[in-house]
Amino acid sequence: MSQAESDQAAPAADAPVMEGVRVIEAALATLPHAPGVYRMLDARGDALYVGKARALRRRVHAYTQIARLPERLRRMVHETRSLEVITTASEAEALLLEANLIKRLRPRYNIVLRDDKSYPWLVLTEDHPYPQITKHRGGRRKGASYWGPFASAWAVNQTLTALQRVFLLRSCRDTVFDTRSRPCLLFQIRRCSAPCVDRISREDYAGLVQQAKQFLSGETPSIQRELAKEMEAAAEALEFERAAAIRDRIRGLTHVQGRDRINMEGIGDADVVALHQMAGQTCVQVFFFRGGRNNGNRPYFLSKGEQGPEEVLEAFLTQLYDDLPPPPLVLLSHEPAEQALIAEALSIKAGRKVELHRPQRGDKRAAVEHAATNAREALERKLAEGTAQEALLQGVARVFDLPATPERIEVYDNSHIQGSNAYGVMVAAGPSGFLKQAYRKFSIRGPVAPGDDFGMMREVFERRFGRALKEDPGRESGTWPDLVLIDGGLGQLNAAREILAEMGVDDLPLVAVAKGPDRDAGREWFHRTGHPPFQLPPRDPVLYYLQRLRDEAHRFAITTHRAGRSKSLVRSELDEIPGVGTALKRKLLNHFGSARGVRNAALADLENAPGIGPSVARRIYGHFHPGMAEG
């Protein structure tokens, strides 16, 4: 951007900018010279920018030098109306706090890693005589070992399958394990040793668990040698069936070793992080290596703005490891400006030394180049998809006579069974595709008569747009829709228009999508106020796109309703028992498998259940058997 364009893009009047400068100058008088984190806030108290500093006063003072700031920060100062600071013991601690606040607050002027997905792990439940190996997301608990992270569910499933084939560990839940009377299918296909029915001794199973731990820790060669010796010994003892089973395990182990596309000798736990920038966008590709194995890779997309690769990578690393434990080694495609500081901060977080390294030759360099190639290809695909998405949105604007290409489309649907477990949902889409983080569920609070879709729509719209009018009446946050799609015909359209008009919202483009004859996809009718209904040509790409939007809303409504119905079924059985809270209910379900199992359990079984106790057991039994006395 030229200087003239920059001046043109900056705020036209100096007065608002100077107001922001005055706010910062007033705050400087009380700022310490200590390290810490500062937050620039707008008039509503929302975070505009979060930064860290070795000396807060000196760093914040730089924002008063408007002429020296890039356009992005000039705009930030223009909007600043207050400033908050948090002091820390060191600059490294400030860097960790900055990353945490950026991920939580998502300030507009920071580089933000927008990744709402959790990472899958493998968990080994070692508090059981026969430990279970399974995949896991969420918080950790005692009595279990965790291995990962994995980049995706596919990656963790591949490793889980390998562990079943090679080490024959059980993957079933404890409730299933405790009630089995004969081996399951996994035993028949040689993916489990069937400890549930004593097909393997506890000592031998413990040996399999130890081998699995060695494998997950990268000690594969030693395991292969052990298995080879076992196979030879079995063959010499004429135990040919056992020798063949061990041979199959060795083959499975060899298959796992040969599957990785990247192989770095001598590397145990490491991440490979490579960045590519193009057309104002950035893709960072991360490969996770644990125990010398490739645990998969994941692309992350960020808007580059004015920042170069070194600055983007610096922000990315601190935010990535805000959620993940950093490995001992991180291989990089670029060197961040404050690489030593980032390494110090990550070492504090990990409780051990973490090294950041940009390799120049050998296998490590080849691994970084491979990750960089993946980053470039992923970004090219995303840009191509974005171009196609932009064309579809332009087509939507043309079909519905919108004043501009829509940046946000909201689609509404609902689901219930005869008025019970009623839910309304909203899905959103824009230039980047479906906006999953913007999806909303509305559990219908008011009484809903069977088939009263109008009543449900009223409650959903009143809650959605009532909150929007309260929090963002000026429609400045980008969360107001440019187009609203509802499932239904002219009646639903008129009802929606009336509801919004009562709220003072009469300028939102509304379209009702009615299913065609015999509910055929491709023959939908589109209804707009003041226009006759119309259909789109059967092969029109815009029609396919609108169908995808409607189908996604329907899918989300159905899954939301099913989840709510399942929850209510459990609630109806156990939540009515006096004194049975969430923790106790979880213990009952884990032990008996279902609410029906609790209801049908004998008093003695309830008393012997872990964590229940005689008095609580009598209360539960008395709830399901009213004729029985509790005392």
Q: Where exactly are the structural domains of the chain? A: 19-105, 120-258, 271-291+298-381, 409-568, 573-624
Apex CA 95: angle with CA 67 and CA 289, to 5°? 125
Residue 483 has pLDDT above 50, yes or no: yes
Q: From CA 215, how far away is CA 222, in angstroms rounded? A: 9
564: confidence class by pLDDT, cuts 50, 70, 90 = low
Nearest in space to 160 (alpha carbons), one of 183, 128, 126, 132: 132
Q: Where are the alpha helices (DSSP H) in 168-302?
A: 174-179, 185-188, 202-216, 220-236, 240-257
515: confidence class by pLDDT, cuts 50, 70, 90 = confident
CB 129 within 8 A of CB 112: no
Share of the chain above pLDDT 70, in %: 87
Q: From CA 97, how far away is CA 176, in angstroms rounded? A: 44
Domain 409-568 belongs to what topology?
Nucleotidyltransferase; domain 5 (3.30.420)
List the CATH code of the domain at 271-291+298-381. Answer: 3.30.420
Secondary structure of 499-515 as H, E, C letters:
HHHHCCCCCCCEEEEEC
Residue 569 has pLDDT above 60, yes or no: no
Between 539 and 146, residue with greater pLDDT: 146
106-110, 141-145, 475-479, 574-578 — which one is most confidently predicted on average? Answer: 106-110
pLDDT, position 6: 43
Between 458 and 272, residue with greater pLDDT: 272
Instruction: Render pLDDT for 171-218 as a digit per residue (tens, 0 to 9).
Output: 898 888 888 888 889 988 888 999 999 999 999 899 889 888 888 877
Q: What is the mean pLDDT of the chain?
A: 84
C-alpha Rg value of the chain to the nearest Å: 30
Q: From CA 339, how far away is CA 344, in angstroms rounded? A: 9
pLDDT, position 424: 85
The CATH number fitting domain 573-624, selected from 1.10.150.20, 1.10.3720.10, 2.60.120.650, 3.40.50.970: 1.10.150.20
Helix/strand/coil for 528: strand
Torsion (CA) 72, 77, 82, 88 in degrees, nearest 10? 60
CB 397 within 8 A of CB 406: yes
pLDDT, position 305: 60
* Residue 378 phi, psi dihedral angles, 5° rounding: -65, -40
Residue 496 has pLDDT above 70, yes or no: yes
Neighbours of 562 (CB within 10 A): 13
Burial of 81-99, coded b for 16+ CB within 10 Å and e otherwise, reads: eebebeebebbbbbbbbbb
268 Cβ neighbours under 8 A, 6+ residues apart:
217, 218, 289, 290, 291, 292, 328
> pTM of the full predicted structure?
0.70
Question: Given this structure, which CATH class describes domain 19-105?
Answer: alpha beta
Q: Where are the alpha helices (DSSP H) in 258-308?
A: none
Apex CA 284: angle with CA 283 and CA 290, to 5°? 150
Nearest in space to 83 (alpha carbons), one of 51, 35, 110: 51
Q: Do domains 19-105 and 573-624 have the same CATH topology?
A: no
Q: From CA 136, how far away is CA 124, in angstroms rounded? A: 10
Long-range contacts of 308-313 (CB under 8 A, 24+ apart): 309/275, 309/277, 309/282, 309/333, 309/334, 310/334, 310/335, 310/336, 310/337, 311/111, 311/336, 311/337, 312/111, 312/275, 312/277, 312/282, 312/284, 313/273, 313/275, 313/284
pLDDT, position 13: 43
1: confidence class by pLDDT, cuts 50, 70, 90 = very low
pLDDT, position 375: 94
Q: From CA 523, how far away is CA 550, in angstroms rounded? A: 14
pLDDT, position 321: 93
> From residue 459, how far is each of 283, 294, 346, 455 by CA, in Å?
41, 49, 47, 6
Residue 127 has pLDDT above 50, yes or no: yes
CB 95 within 8 A of CB 88: no
11: confidence class by pLDDT, cuts 50, 70, 90 = very low
Instruction: Render pLDDT for 573-606 as a digit per residue (tens, 0 to 9).
Output: 677 787 777 778 777 877 777 777 788 888 888 8
Between 253 and 165, residue with greater pLDDT: 165
Residue 631 has pLDDT above 80, yes or no: no
pLDDT, position 16: 55
Residue 294 has pLDDT above 90, yes or no: no
Residue 7 has pLDDT above 50, yes or no: no
Instruction: Render pLDDT for 310-351 as a digit per residue (tens, 0 to 9).
Output: 999 999 999 999 989 999 999 999 999 899 999 999 999 999
pLDDT, position 25: 92
Instruction: Render pLDDT for 45-73 as a digit per residue (tens, 0 to 9).
Output: 889 999 999 999 999 999 999 889 888 89
Whether residue 149 is preceded by a cis peptide bond, meaning omega within 30 degrees of 0, is yes
383 Cβ neighbours under 8 A, 6+ residues apart:
278, 279, 281
Residue 403 has pLDDT above 70, yes or no: yes
Instruction: Render pLDDT for 84-119 as a digit per residue (tens, 0 to 9).
Output: 999 999 999 999 999 999 988 989 899 888 776 778
Helix/strand/coil for 213: helix
Neighbours of 533 (CB within 10 A): 14
Q: Which residue has the tokens 């509910």?
A: 519
